[in-house]
Amino acid sequence: MRTFDTVVIGGGPAGLAAATAAHENGAKTLLIEREARLGGILKQCIHDGFGLVRFGEKLSGPEYAERFIDAFCKADIPAMTLTFVTRIAPKENGGFHVTLVSRDGVETVEAKTLVLSTGCRERTAKQVSIHGTRPAGVFTAGTAQHLTNLLGELPTKRCVILGSGDIGLIMARRLTLEGAKVLGVYEAKPTPSGLTRNIHQCLHDYNIPLYLSHTVTRVFGDDRLTAVEIAEVDDKMQPLAGTEQILECDALILSVGLIPENELAESLGVEIDPKTKGPLCNGQLMTSVDGVFSCGNALHVNDLVDYVSESGECAGKNAALYVRKKRQEIPINAAKMLSYIVPQRLNLDADNHETVLYFRSRDILNGCTLKMRINGEEAFSKKYPFLRPPEMERLTVDFSKYPLDASSEIEFDIEVKANG
């Protein structure tokens, strides 16, 4: 049986960064990817806007991925593509057996530590309950992107986009550029879900209308979609009777959210945060199971790939440096004004002098202050002119400055000026 110090599962930007960092920190590393090529979702993201934070350049997805693939290949780290991880079983005295399926058959390898960088999956029509028939022509935005950008097949000539997530906004522009008519982007919430820059660059610049507080209630068509029914919704997102209208189209593109892909993590008993739908982790990105690390979109849905790579590097490095010992962890809680904070725990036995935290606000907030309280006492604060839920925020905190012990509780909250 082949044995490795660190096995990284998923060869997207998170996994590439994790494998390279693990190797650089002395671990004998293996990267496993189920697709034929490394790069993950970036392979199909041919628009630019990647790498602004990390490289100060506007790269396309494949260009960004190429930089990490080059570094990975230069380090000569073994990678198995067209290989799917089907099962992970903990070994009795630490470590894991990882079962792989590839063209060569089934193999089990041994790993001391694991990095889970399996990305996320898109919500489908089933998860947003749309009534009607089941015709062809209902695609997730990522599938439409795969067909258009990788296979060169235009999936629609006239479509409606449901949901204003970034992938939907990007596909509204992409399909328009390819000659399709995008009738509009319909969003059930009163505010857009995607980044402000994408609302401007993908919709406003191409005169594609955005309808807030609207949803698709029904689809029509036998073999292929022929029309959809649109309705306005109330503040509980329930369709308002009498507002229905029928739009003729041949496709409905869904951009209704992403869910971290964590089946392998769950099979290992990794605790999942109901807010992020990713593993609960500490500042070193180790999950609740010793030796199992998580990063990228499998950990929480990131809006910028730069932070995906950053979390990959953190998980890979810490997986390589992992020494099995008892952890002393205290909670990092997100109060009600935050939709979540990652990491959710702090390991008092680890080096926490440069802990990177990622968070999102629950609502659109202007003139606000992020406050960190330790046992109810304010310990740190940072002012923000505004915070918006689609835009993830990043913060570095030196926790070594604070007198923390096993009974300490850390809480982050946001205070808004009375007239803010």
Cα torsion 221, 222, 224, 226 to 10°: value is -20
For residue 223, how many other CB atoms are within 10 A of its CB? 9
The yes or no reply on residue 15 touching ligand FAD (CB under 6 A) is yes
Q: Which residue of 95, 119, 316, 390 would you call a contact of ligand FAD, by CB under 6 A?
A: 119
Least distance CB 47 / ligand FAD (angstroms): 6
- The stretch near ligand FAD (CB under 6 A) out of 45-53, 183-191, 355-363, 372-380 is 45-53
- For residue 66, the minimal CB distance to ligand FAD (Å) is 13
313 binds ligand FAD (CB under 6 A): no
* Backbone phi, psi, residue 294, to 5°: -135, 150
Residue closer to ligand FAD (CB basis): 29 or 213: 29
Q: Which phi and psi angles does 178 have, rounded to 5°?
A: -85, 0
Q: Which of residues 235-274 bind ligand FAD (CB under 6 A)?
A: 261, 264
Residues touching ligand FAD, count (CB under 6 A): 37
Note whether 302 binds ligand FAD by CB under 6 A.
yes
Helix (H) or strand (E) holding 322: none
**Ranges assigned E (strand) in 299-363:** 329-334, 338-342, 345-347, 355-361
Considering the complex, state which of residue 32 and residue 251 has its C-beta at the smaller distance from ligand FAD. 32
- Residue 84 touches ligand FAD, criterion: CB under 6 A: yes
Does residue 297 touch ligand FAD according to CB under 6 A?
yes
| Structure tokens given for 148 | 């258009």
Distances in Å between the Cα of 48 and the Cα atoms of 52, 174, 288, 376 are: 10, 12, 36, 44
Work out whether 13 is an interface residue with ligand FAD (CB under 6 A): yes
Question: Measured from the CB of residue 376, what is the shortest distance to ligand FAD in angstroms?
Answer: 35
Please give the residues from 157 up to 216 whose contact with ligand FAD meets the rule CB under 6 A: 166-167, 170
What's the closest the beta carbon of residue 177 comes to ligand FAD, in angstroms? 15
336 exposure class (CB count in 10 Å sphere: 0-12, 13-18, 19+): exposed
What whole-number distance in Å separates Cα of residue 342 and Cα of residue 242?
43
CA distance 280 to 283: 10
Nearest CB to ligand FAD, comparing residues 20 and 145: 145
315 contacts ligand FAD (rule: CB under 6 A): no
**Pairing of the two strands 210-212 and 292-294:** unpaired
Site membership for ligand FAD, residue 316 (CB under 6 A): no
- The structure tokens 């998860």 sit at 127
- Token pair in block for residue 106: 């089934």
| Closest alpha carbon to 327 in 282, 261, 267 | 282
Among 6, 29, 118, 156, binds ligand FAD (CB under 6 A): 118
Q: By CB under 6 A, tell whether 49 contacts ligand FAD.
A: yes
Nearer to ligand FAD, 173 or 233 (CB): 173
Q: What angle (nearest 5°) sits at the alpha carbon of residue 164, between those of residues 158 and 170?
A: 65
Beta strands (DSSP E) in 117-256 are 120-122, 131-132, 138-140, 158-162, 181-187, 210-212, 214-220, 227-232, 245-248, 251-254
Q: Is 18 in the site for ligand FAD (CB under 6 A)?
A: no
Strands 84-90 and 96-102: antiparallel
Instruction: List Cβ neighbours of 102 (8 Å cut-off, separation of 6 or more).
Output: 80, 82, 83, 84
Site membership for ligand FAD, residue 42 (CB under 6 A): yes
Binding-site string for ligand FAD from residue 331 to residue 370, where x marks contact by CB under 6 A and - marks none: ----------------------------------------
Q: Which is nearer to ligand FAD, 162 or 264 (CB)?
A: 264
Using the minimum distance from each CB to ligand FAD, give the nearer residue, 170 or 368.
Answer: 170
Enumerate residues 141-160 that contact ligand FAD by CB under 6 A: 142, 145
- Closer to ligand FAD by CB, 318 or 352: give it: 318
Give, in degrees to the nearest 5, the angle at Cα 392 between 412 and 298: 100
Contact residues toward ligand FAD (CB under 6 A) are 9-15, 32-35, 40-42, 45, 49-50, 84-85, 117-119, 142, 145, 166-167, 170, 261, 264, 296-298, 302, 304-306, 308
